[in-house]
Structure 1
């Protein structure tokens, strides 16, 4: 089982053609580093696709999800902000339900 202590959501869209190295570079650019036991979520512009990069302490995992219909209820773009989700918010987002995340200023 992969341990995840924190879940971070990127508010700006990412090209879903991105592979592991590109997604990792994006995590570093947006969040400063890929911290062990953290998950980082990205969506495309629509947003009907999602990628999740997880650092497990040894390496990284990259998973993708695509909706056949509808869109994820992704929070709007806020430059200079990070969004941390709890497990309940993640489950709602993955199930295509609305969430009310807390935006935190980048430090």
Structure 2
């Protein structure tokens, strides 16, 4: 992940509704949720949710797939994985061993995150 991609992802997540949507979709992996279900879970109008879903998708944090008349959204766990590693990979200048446990935990929780396209 490069700096611009990280900024786009962090910017998308820096709004409370979008963060709530992303966390909800992470909890519903691997099946995802249709936009209407996301709106119901968060008790918000569907058109508001759709705008937030589009922002998260543009940042590469969500994928969508049409199933008949429904569009099902899924969290892109590989993008989250890459973002987290980007944030900690170069940490602790001069003492990288301080971040080793965190990097190991991130690597083991998602050993081969599925790719998002």
Fold conserved between structures, TM > 0.5:
no
Larger radius of gyration: 2
Q: Compute the TM-score of the two structures, normalised by the length of structure 1.
A: 0.29
> Which structure has greater helix proportion?
2
> Which structure has greater strand proportion?
1
